[in-house]
Amino acid sequence: MEVKKNSLLIVDDENSNLKVLTYILGQDYTIYTSSNGANAIEKAREYVPDLILLDILMPGMDGYQTLSEIKKCNIVKKTPVIFITGLDSDEDEEKGLSLDSADYITKPFNPTIVKLRVRNQIQIVNQLRTIEKLIMIDQLTNIPNRRCFDDRLKMEWKQAIRENTPISLLVMDLDKFKNINDTYGHLQGDIVLQTVAEVFSHSFKRPGDFVARWGGEEFVVLMPNTQMEGAVEVAEKIRSDVESRVMPSLDHSRITITISIGVNSIVPTLDCLVDSFISNADKALYNAKQTGRNKVVCYNKDLIK
């Protein structure tokens, strides 16, 4: 299986410099190029490179201005930038570092130094991504955790407000999960949680839908641009799939489990609270638990207090 290369955006108004750097780095990285600051900002947003090599002296928008604008773009503001420069004064270096540049590559280019400086920054990028993944993934089920869900919800909530589109939430809890742990042990309980997490991946296919482990035996599914009817359809599919799944068993017992699901859907406005959105889905889940379990209940302010 081919390993995906890290990507670089090289920005320089001299075509000869672009060619030289592409020759030096092209074998190890995916290369994008730009010849001016304005176009570099557009390409940074489009390709979201892992590292940007940015010439300081360019006509129009120079490297300092370009870096300042890049830092204003949420999608690339954390992307490290190495300045390409023929300048070597302390004042120039101080100005670049004050703008959060990661390093410098000086002209004329020394291929070995170029490769080492780029490699060092890419190693840092990859290490940070590994750490971020560990922080954001539930280690038992290998799906996103609550912290990751909170970040995703903030992003989708803002977009739903901006675009005036609906957003739906499923809050799900395994029924009588404590009985599994008490009867078969916690290791078997872990296997059940892992298996249920796998079931979710087959219950809905849209790439925008987002499942996470909320904690314990609770899970959530966030569904952007989805009205209540569509959310209920997915919830019923999940409920049915979990109910029909026979869990892998350590002692070859036939173990099954059911799930209760609360659904809430809203077209949020600036006056709406995210906490209320979650709380109301949780109220629907509580109602499902109280009225028999293994069911889907939609939030309705007239029925659920």
Angle between helices 186-203 and 177-184 (to 10 degrees): 140
88-129 pLDDT tens trace: 656 666 666 666 788 888 889 999 999 999 999 999 999 998
Q: Output phi, psi for 255, to 5 deg.
A: -115, 125
The pLDDT of residue 196 is 96
Size (the chain), residues: 305
pLDDT at residue 96, as a whole number: 60
- For residues 221 and 219, give the distance between their C-alpha atoms in angstroms, rounded to a whole number: 7
DSSP letter (8 states) at residue 142:
-
State residue 131's pLDDT score: 87
For this structure, is 198 an active site residue?
A: no
Give the up-direction half-sphere exposure of residue 83: CA atoms within 13 A in the CB hemisphere.
Answer: 27
Distances (CA, A) of 230 to 170, 206, 264: 11, 12, 11
Q: Tens-digit pLDDT profile for the chain (305 aa)?
A: 556 899 999 999 999 999 999 999 999 999 999 999 999 999 999 999 999 999 998 998 999 999 999 988 888 988 999 998 876 656 666 666 666 788 888 889 999 999 999 999 999 999 998 888 888 999 999 999 999 999 999 999 999 999 999 999 999 999 999 999 999 999 999 999 999 999 998 887 787 899 999 999 999 999 999 999 999 999 999 999 999 999 999 888 899 999 999 999 999 999 999 999 999 999 999 999 999 999 999 998 765 55
Three-class secondary structure of residue 213 per DSSP: strand
Say whether pTM exceeds 0.75. Answer: no
Q: What is d(CA 61, CA 11) in angstroms, rounded to the nearest whole number?
A: 12
Q: How far apart are CA 28 and CA 22, in angstroms?
A: 10
* pLDDT tens, position by position, 52-66: 999 998 998 999 999
Active-site entry in 42, 91, 217, 233: 217
